[in-house]
Amino acid sequence: MPSYVNEVCPLLPSIEKPVSAKDSRAIGQERGESFYRMCLEYAQTKWIKGLPAQALLQLNRAMSTDLSGDEEYLQQYAIPYASVKWILMDRPDKRGQFLANPRRHWQHYATRMSGPRAEIRTWRSWACFAIASRVLPDSKFPKDMQQIEEEGIIIPDESEIEDMLYLIGLVGECEIWKKVIKS
pLDDT digits (tens, 9 = 90+) for 112-132: 999 999 999 999 999 999 999
Does residue 103 sit in helix, strand or coil?
helix
Q: Look at 4 and 111; give whichever has higher pLDDT.
A: 111
Measured over the CA atoms of residue 80, residue 56, residue 120 and residue 135, the dihedral's sign is positive
pLDDT at 57: 96
Q: Look at 2 and 26; give whichever has higher pLDDT.
A: 26
pLDDT score of 1 more than 70: no
Question: Burial code of 62-73, b = ≥16 C-beta within 10 A, e = fewer?
Answer: bbbbebeeebee
What's the mean per-residue pLDDT of the chain? 93
Q: Look at 25 and 109; give whichever has higher pLDDT.
A: 109
Percentage of the chain modeled with pLDDT above 70: 97
Query: With DSSP H G I counted as helix, E B as strand and the rest as coil, what are the percentages for the chain, rounded to 5?
Result: 60, 0, 40
pLDDT at 94: 66
Percentage of the chain modeled with pLDDT above 90: 84
CA distances to 7, 58, 64 from 68, rounded to whole Å, are 32, 20, 12
Arithmetic mean of pLDDT, 150-161? 98
pLDDT at 53: 94
In degrees rounded to 5, what are phi and psi of residue 80? -80, 45
